[in-house]
Amino acid sequence: MMKVNVVCVGKLKESFWREACAEYEKRLNRFCKLEIKELPERASLKEEAADILKKLQGYVLVLAVEGREMSSEEFALSIKKLQDEGRELTLVIGSSCGLDEEVKRAADMKISFSKMTFPHQMFRVVLLEQLYRAFMINAGAEYHK
């Protein structure tokens, strides 16, 4: 079973974000071993970068607005390739202030879900949903329309 790490800076403050994430975590358990590594927000991006860099394992995808945009199908294909190779995956979500360039340079790939900016708490839900969608696409399930 594929190991997937989500490294994110900042806590989910509102219960509705926590509940949404918990639902997708539950759904993802049948496809992967998911671990969410929540790091504290720091006074500077450099300090956050030091914390993030310690948590990077396997193939690293950093979520950044300047990253490569891809469809859900392309995202699923990327995950399938890593899964077929037996690779571990780490996805990184920065704080509300973004990510230090050092973290972006440490990534194997930078991806963007949109040119728009999203609240980092909401984005954690979006990322988990897209991970679930990717695994459902790869399983040939009808979730993705």
Q: What is the pLDDT of residue 144?
A: 63
- Taking the domains of the chain in order of start, what are their residue ranges? 2-139
pTM of the entire predicted model: 0.95
d(CA 126, CA 26): 15
pLDDT at 96: 86
Burial class (CB in 10 A: 0-12, 13-18, 19+), 49: buried
pLDDT, mean of each 10-residue run, the chain (145 residues): 97 96 98 97 96 98 95 97 98 94 98 89 96 97 76
pLDDT at position 34:
98
Task: In whole angstroms, give the CA distance from residue 71 to residue 2.
Answer: 21
* Homologous superfamily of the 2-139 domain (CATH): SPOUT methyltransferase, trefoil knot domain (3.40.1280.10)
Torsions phi, psi for 42 (to 5 deg)? -115, 175
pLDDT of residue 119: 87
